[in-house]
Amino acid sequence: MSVAYDEAKRVVRAFRKPAFYEVATRCNLFCEGCYYFSDNFTPTKEVQDLAAWERFFAAEGERGVTMAYFVGAEPALEQDRLHAASQYFPHGNIGTNGTVRIDPAIPYRIGVSVWGVDAEVDVSLRGGRTFGKAIRNYAGDPRAIILYTLTRSNLGDTRKLAEICRDNDLPLTFNMYSPTQTYLRKLQEGEGNDRSFFRISNAESNLCWDDESLGEVRSMIPRLMEEYPETIVYSEAYNDWATRSGPLYDIDPETGVARDCHSRMVGQMRYFRADMEPGDEKCGTSDAVCSECRMYSGGWSSKFEPRDEDLRDAAAFSAWLGMIATLGRIFLIESPAPAPAFAVNRPDLASSAPRPTA
């Protein structure tokens, strides 16, 4: 127990001063129910000067940021900014759709988002075939972990994905799709489908969870963990919590905002937009509906401190320690000394598809 407790303290220390950095406002995909492009999306006037990004990240490093989350539409389209950051933060986590390989010199954890294995499922949920590219780009990459966003429509792909990850030396973990305010409004108002982020959903068939589908995930994940113990990085205790019925958080009845989610921009947490100005986002995914949110980022960050239920007995506390160890494996890698930053001139990135409009 003492070894597990020491490991938990080590993991939690890595996140003692986190910040989100939006490094890209364009993307090359059209994911159904997109987390980023919302109804009220207003393009940020991005800072283009690489030297300004270096100065900004240097100041953030001096401020003592220990964990940098690189987000946006698609951070892999702005790799010069990732290079600029890499010399200033001890830990980093990059969220990417996997279609563009991130330079091996960038020493941070890479969460490669996957939404489906079957070509039809992949295309329907993301607007294009992405799965094969993601596997080819990151097979055997020690920085990468496959982040499978579970939805009601892709649960049948999960076992096949675990097998493919095993065969390509890629760890696998899970996210649960969480609807945004934009997505729920379109469902509730019966809005017609479009050609971008609301192509296939309707009131009868959509990505939102119900008790039956939550139960399916709750029973499926432990079986897969037994079958692929060296591949799947997850926790049965966390899975039980994330698939429980009803809201996972204490919701303020007046604002609808979660009062106890640790992905909130309160305390030490900060969110900076691509103009380098601090944003007023409520959390790292500001359009998400708190009462429906099961997103892995908010869920795992809310486990940093044990709650009453985690302290009721030795077994519960041991389960909490196991969750923190798993959290570390998902979000952290042991980084070598950062390489010097340098400007990246990548015409292939500059010519990527323009940022889609919501």
Provide the pLDDT for residue 40.
78
Q: Which two tokens stand for residue 46?
A: 């991005």
Instruction: Walk me through the domains of the chain, giving residue ranges and CATH numbers.
Output: 2-350 (3.20.20)
Provide the pLDDT for residue 339.
39
Task: Say if pTM beats, i.e. exceeds, 0.85.
Answer: yes
Q: Which two tokens stand for residue 121?
A: 């499922």
Provide the pLDDT for residue 39.
83
Residue 338 pLDDT class (50, 70, 90 cuts): very low
Per residue in 17-72, pLDDT tens? 999 999 999 999 999 999 999 887 887 899 999 999 999 999 999 999 999 999 99
Provide the pLDDT for residue 334.
66
Q: Across residues 167-190, what is the average pLDDT?
A: 97
Provide the pLDDT for residue 44.
85
Provide the pLDDT for residue 347.
34
Contact 335, 91 (CB under 8 A): yes
Q: Rounded mean pLDDT of the chain?
A: 92
Q: How far is CA 54 from CA 61, 78, 85, 89, 336, in A?
A: 10, 13, 7, 12, 20
